Structure 1
């Protein structure tokens, strides 16, 4: 399975970031059961390592987010991650990911930053925070001269905006809080509602 492929499950990355980790496995299973396949579990979510290690042997494309140092790349690899994601572009992180055979999605925003990330070997560039600077309209403008660089808008993206981002050339979208709701902040999250939001995201990406 390749990010940005033909199927909707190739175009949505679920970003799991939260203050509580006791329901992390259940949340992951709910998202996979709804049809999502790309799960990014951030390093500042309690229990992330165990969750990634458990998912690594399944059919999920599981990665680790908020990876800011080479040491965190090593941890992600030990957990069995297939990719690492960062809020910014750190050349040392990218180099270590390449050494370990992991896909690397660094964060960037301006055209200069996006070009720099691509020049360092980014598998795709995470445009972050996408919504703060104009959403799909911003992506359309920066993609016009940078149409050879795969872009993944992330940051405040709503489910009802997924189709718009894909229409202007995003290869995939990253969905965090708008998808997750209270799934990783509540002791008793509504997993049924989470599954419905995941299904809506996949429908929007179809």
Structure 2
């Protein structure tokens, strides 16, 4: 891969374009995906990740990419193999997120022109993911690892790495992670709640607007 960064040869910033927050859509019935995406984007959320264990995830990505591709970044999450990445790219995804770091997935993402956000937890894993060409590293699960305090400690020596913490981050906690050095935060159920199952868009809109307002201060 050509888009790599190594501390030994001089750290380089990769181009990160997901915005300050990524809404993670996981699970549900598949019946409310379009309404949930519409509500999130209208509320100011700039990036949507639809995971591969969400019903009809391919159709959701295709719909969102066609309707909102110019207003928000649309990506795929829980990518476990290159086949899923290829399917997401064909549907119109522009970035791919994994809970782990897999070099083959990273190479395929690079070939398909997708931003690659692999998961990592330890400093060793974070640096390795960055060296393999991650556009940003998904620090996961962020809250159980120690939250903003953990992130700040890790980024003290690794300040050349762009990180996107996810996992257990609340709507009102997100700004603390940006203050600790994250380039963006990923929020799943604390933001989406049960909207993918119940279709409760009013509550979703309230959380999304509170999140966006908190991150813009």
TM-score (normalised: structure 1): 0.94
How much has 1:109 moved relative to structure 2?
Answer: 0.5
Q: Counterpart of 1:199?
A: 209
Once residues 142 and 20 of structure 1 are traced to their aligned partners in structure 2, the CA distance between those partners, rounded to angstroms, is: 38
How much has 1:190 moved relative to structure 2?
Answer: 1.5
- Match status 1:181 vs 2:190: no
How much has 1:133 moved relative to structure 2?
Answer: 1.3
Once residues 89 and 31 of structure 1 are traced to their aligned partners in structure 2, the CA distance between those partners, rounded to angstroms, is: 28
**3-state SS, counterpart of residue 184 of structure 1:** helix
CA displacement 1:109-156 (0-9 Å, x = unmatched): 000000010010000000000000110000001010100000100000
- Match status 1:120 vs 2:132: yes
Q: Counterpart of 1:131?
A: 143
Quick check: 1:85–1:106 contact (8 Å CA) kept in 2? yes
- Match status 1:45 vs 2:54: yes
Q: Counterpart of 2:22?
A: 13
**3-state SS, counterpart of residue 62 of structure 1:** strand
The gaps in structure 2 that reach 5 residues or longer are: 1-14
TM-score (normalised: structure 2): 0.89
Structure 1's consecutive aligned runs of 4 or more residues displaced over 6 angstroms after TM superposition are none
**3-state SS, counterpart of residue 129 of structure 2:** helix
Quick check: 1:15–1:42 contact (8 Å CA) kept in 2? yes
Once residues 42 and 16 of structure 2 are traced to their aligned partners in structure 1, the CA distance between those partners, rounded to angstroms, is: 19
How much has 1:47 moved relative to structure 2?
Answer: 1.4
How much has 1:185 moved relative to structure 2?
Answer: 2.7
How much has 1:35 moved relative to structure 2?
Answer: 1.2
**3-state SS, counterpart of residue 48 of structure 2:** strand
CA displacement 1:158-200 (0-9 Å, x = unmatched): 01111111111100000101001101233xx320110111111
Once residues 102 and 197 of structure 2 are traced to their aligned partners in structure 1, the CA distance between those partners, rounded to angstroms, is: 29
Q: Counterpart of 1:99?
A: 111
Once residues 147 and 61 of structure 1 are traced to their aligned partners in structure 2, the CA distance between those partners, rounded to angstroms, is: 25
The gaps in structure 1 that reach 5 residues or longer are: 5-9
What RMSD in Å do the two structures reach over aligned CA positions?
A: 1.2
Q: Counterpart of 1:144?
A: 156
Once residues 123 and 163 of structure 1 are traced to their aligned partners in structure 2, the CA distance between those partners, rounded to angstroms, is: 21
Q: Counterpart of 2:200?
A: 190
Paired residues, what number?
Answer: 199
